[in-house]
Amino acid sequence: MQLILHPMNGDFKYMPALRFRWLTPLYDWLIRWLLPETLFKRALLDQARLQTGEKVLDAGCGTATLTIMAARDCPGCQLTGVDADPAILQIASRKVRQAQLQNITLLHYTSHQLPFPDGHFDKIMCSLLFCNLLPEEKKAVLTALCRVLKPVGELHIADWGKPASFWVRPGFWLLQAMGGFRTTGDLARGQLPDYLKEAGFSAINTDKYFNTWFGTLYLYRSRKQN
């Protein structure tokens, strides 16, 4: 079953996908052609190793590409996709209906205080979420994710980080110019692991990465601190 909710009184302003509203309908096409989307999202799912019966959150789900891949990989999981952008969620809703998947719920929510009880999810995934958030918003979101994750749960992230090669640095400058230096500057300095630790996560792994035309995408895997 699929459900989209529209709560009021959000506590932050979201950035539209690809920054400009007129680009939203082109989001899937552009991401598919400009980035190795299937490759890094497949690697993220392989890392997460979803299991039947698990409750899984896709935070900042966008058009639900990763959510749908996860639902197909693990039909016995309960997938929840959350995003602050109602326009992008309309695209996600259409894609989920076309895929005829019954184990996905889509939720529109514009607050850092996620509407789930403490320790609700077994796994949380985030793909290209934090590059759209200011540093203080990154920290608030990570704190909220830590709260709703089970003590033995895992957080899996795919996002931009410090360029791993001189040759990808110019492309990342272009990405920053388009998306905003204020939201990506800390990622370029490699600060996301520091934010994870501040929010209550430990066992942070960043061994896997992908060099692209627009910078280096890292995979992070972390747990709650004991």
Q: Which domain holds residue 73?
A: 21-224
pLDDT value for 50: 98
Instruction: Give exposure, 62-89, as e/b (b: 16+ Cβ within 10 Å).
Output: bbbbbbbbbbeebeebbbbbbbbbeebb
Domain-located, residue 10: no
Q: Is the pTM higher than 0.85? A: yes
Mean pLDDT in order along the chain per 10 residues (226 residues) = 50 58 71 90 97 97 96 96 91 93 90 88 96 93 96 96 89 82 92 96 88 94 87
Is residue 120 within 8 Å of residue 88, measured between CB atoms?
no
What pLDDT score does 110 carry? 78
Confidence (pLDDT) at 68: 97
pLDDT score at 9: 47
Q: Partners of 121 in the beta sheet?
A: 149
Is 136 a domain residue?
A: yes
Contact 9, 111 (CB under 8 A): yes
For residues 144 and 113, is the Cβ–Cβ distance under 8 A? yes
- Say if 3 falls within a structural domain: no
- CB of 142 closer than 8 Å to CB of 193: no
In a domain, 166, yes or no: yes
CATH value at residue 134: 3.40.50.150
pLDDT at position 1, please? 45
The answer to whether residue 178 sits within a structural domain is yes
Instruction: Determine, yes or no, domain membership for 2.
Output: no
- pLDDT, residue 8, reads 45
Buried b / exposed e across 11-33, counting CB within 10 Å, b at 16+?
eeebbbbbeeeeebeebbeebee
Residue 192 lies in a domain: yes
Total structural domains in the chain?
1
Rounded Cα distance between 85 and 90, Å, is 9
Please check whether residue 13 lies inside any domain of the structure.
no
